Amino acid sequence: MSFTEGIRRKEDIILEVRNLKVWFPVRVGLTSIFTGSKKYLRAVDGVSFNLHKGEVLSIVGESGSGKTTLGLTIVGVYKPTEGEILFKGVDVHSTDKKTSLLLKRKIQMIFQDPFESLPPHMTVFDIVKEGIDIHKLANSPSEKIKLILTALENVGLTPPEDFFKKYPHQLSGGQRQRVSIASVLTLKPELIVADEPISMIDASLRGSILKLMMKLKRDFDLTYIFILHDLAIARCISTHIAVMYLGQVVEAGKINNVMKEPLHPYTKALLSVAPSLRKMSRREKIILKGEIPSPIDLPSGCRFSPRCPFAFNDCRKNEPVLIETKQEHYVRCLMYQKPNDLTNKIS
């Protein structure tokens, strides 16, 4: 999949993900040791996309669809089994120490649970300081304090001096998430992967965190990848969206294209259960049966076929490929696939 058509310029590409696979070996019984057969948990299984500077990509899908693994691989936590991730043309998993350290600064991550992601024994000052120390961003102690002050001010923790000596447990959920944003911000990143940054925060305060993140995007020229399961929020903040299911992208494209005219049955189902306050305006709900299958023993054919309300026989036999139905709208479903797409894949 590539979004690079029309207005999107090639030189603006900030992140390129090429046929990324992240498989984890699974321990199985004795027999497999003798027979030598190995099993893998295919968390991410062939994901490709290009992200341009200034874009906001939302990756949505159920728990277990591989969103978080994808995010963690982009920031360099997991090594890809196959494929590569290029940040401005440089391999994220480069073994060169200097490049690796630089990339670790340029690509940052914000985690889901601010109650667990902040070290409980460190003060806000120390938490924000840590990154500055590691990357040697300050020449003098006074410069360091200045950096921390501005970072806290930028995330709306004012007056910042009041927060210096506070420990995470003295802060509310929203404030903690602001601290983690501040600690990321001091490193002057270019790409931020935010893994469900608001799901642990009260519904009434979610908007304030997202608004802050959008403001920082404008101020510091950031590019975002949001990992979400709430499509209503994805719609408000992103320029592009990728819907993931069992390690694969099943639908992707410009946010408006996908939201106005969802093609994949999975996207349709997700949209039908998405938040809508007034029950009268609720459309017919498609409630998917069961839960996402195990990424170890994948269903044959289309991975969504066992839960798909529209599945026909072919779906259980042939695996669909991601095709572009119109500009900046991609779908992986046999219903939209012309017969020759399939032969192309096989040949």
Contact positions vs another protein (CB under 8 A) = 62-63, 172-174, 202-208, 210-211, 229-233, 235-237, 259, 269-271, 273-279, 281-283, 285, 287-288, 291
Helix, strand, coil abundance in the chain, percent, nearest 5: 40, 20, 40
The residue among 132 and 270 lying less far from another protein, judged by its C-beta, is 270
Query: Residue type for 304, please?
Result: F
The residue among 38 and 282 lying less far from another protein, judged by its C-beta, is 282
Helices (H), the chain: 30-35, 67-74, 97-106, 114-117, 124-134, 141-154, 161-164, 173-185, 203-220, 231-237, 255-260, 265-272, 313-317, 339-346
**Minimum distance from residue 122 beta carbon to another protein (Å):** 22
**Minimum distance from residue 166 beta carbon to another protein (Å):** 14
**Minimum distance from residue 333 beta carbon to another protein (Å):** 18
- Residues 6+ away with beta carbon under 8 Å from 235: 255, 259
The residue among 14 and 271 lying less far from another protein, judged by its C-beta, is 271
**Residue whose C-alpha is closest to residue 228's, from 214, 210, 216:** 210
The residue among 112 and 337 lying less far from another protein, judged by its C-beta, is 112
Between strands 240-245 and 56-60, the pairing is parallel
Helices (H), 273-335: 313-317
The residue among 213 and 323 lying less far from another protein, judged by its C-beta, is 213
The residue among 52 and 206 lying less far from another protein, judged by its C-beta, is 206
The residue among 93 and 217 lying less far from another protein, judged by its C-beta, is 217
Round to whole Å and give the CA distance between 111 and 256. 27
**Minimum distance from residue 346 beta carbon to another protein (Å):** 32
**Minimum distance from residue 85 beta carbon to another protein (Å):** 25
Residue 196: both structure tokens together: 């469900």
**Minimum distance from residue 11 beta carbon to another protein (Å):** 29
CB 318 within 8 Å of CB 342? yes
**Minimum distance from residue 310 beta carbon to another protein (Å):** 17
Side-chain-side CA neighbours of residue 128 (13 Å)? 33
Query: Residue type for 276, please?
Result: S
Instruction: Tell the burial category of 140 from Cβ atoms under 10 Å away from its Cβ (0-12, 13-18, 19+).
Output: exposed
